[in-house]
Structure 1
Amino acid sequence: MGKKIHVHCTVDNCQWWAENNLCVAEKILVVSDDFAKKLPNEVDVEQTNQIVDDLGLSPVNECYESCCKTFVPRDKYQRGMGATEYNKVEV
């Protein structure tokens, strides 16, 4: 069995939100913001496989181009720039 992934979510009025800000959905769909504009506002968990097949890949260059706030470009991570270092934001 694969490693269990913990998805943190702060949208507490979602069906899949659970205590300690965890998402308990069986599947999660993350796409680029450009692809998200092409999707309906709501996507049923059963539709995710078909949507992924239809859309294909949706690469981004920066975190802000996606709703995935833990995004790190693969090439930067492979060069030794870990996610913790790369995603630091100066305020």
Structure 2
Amino acid sequence: MPEVYCSVANCFFWAEGNKCDADAIMVEVNEHADHRFNEEVGGEMVHTSHQDYAKHSRDTCCHTFKPRQ
């Protein structure tokens, strides 16, 4: 899996060097930011059967985020 960098240090999957340590990562467009998904990927529930389009990276968000306990 390619290296994924993340600066969200309070995420359960955040690792030293600002790297994401999740087995899989779900990225969605911002309009789905509050959407609940129903398949498990990277230990989180996600759904991947649809396609969206974004013009800029700022139009996307990570759905793999899980707060660190």
TM-score, normalized by length of structure 2?
0.66
Looking at structure 2, the residues matched to 46 and 9 of structure 1 have their Cα atoms a distance apart, in angstroms, of 17
Write 1 or 2 for the structure with the bigger share of helix: 1
Q: Could you say which residue in structure 2 is the equivalent of 1:14?
A: 11
8 Å contact from structure 1 (residues 6, 22) kept in 2: yes
| Rg (Cα) greater in structure | 1
Write 1 or 2 for the structure with the bigger share of strand: 2
Q: Does residue 57 of the first structure (1) align with residue 51 of the second (2)?
A: yes
Question: How far off its partner does 1:47 sit?
Answer: 2.2
Give, as a single letter, the amino acid of the residue that structure 1 aligns with 2:60.
S
Q: Percent identity?
A: 29
RMSD after superposition: 2.4
Unaligned runs of 5+ in 1: 69-91
Q: Report how many residues are paired.
A: 59
Where in structure 1 do 4 or more consecutive aligned residues deviate above 4 Å? none
Unaligned runs of 5+ in 2: 63-69
Higher relative contact order (CA 8 A, sep 6+): 2
Question: How far off its partner does 1:5 sit?
Answer: 0.5
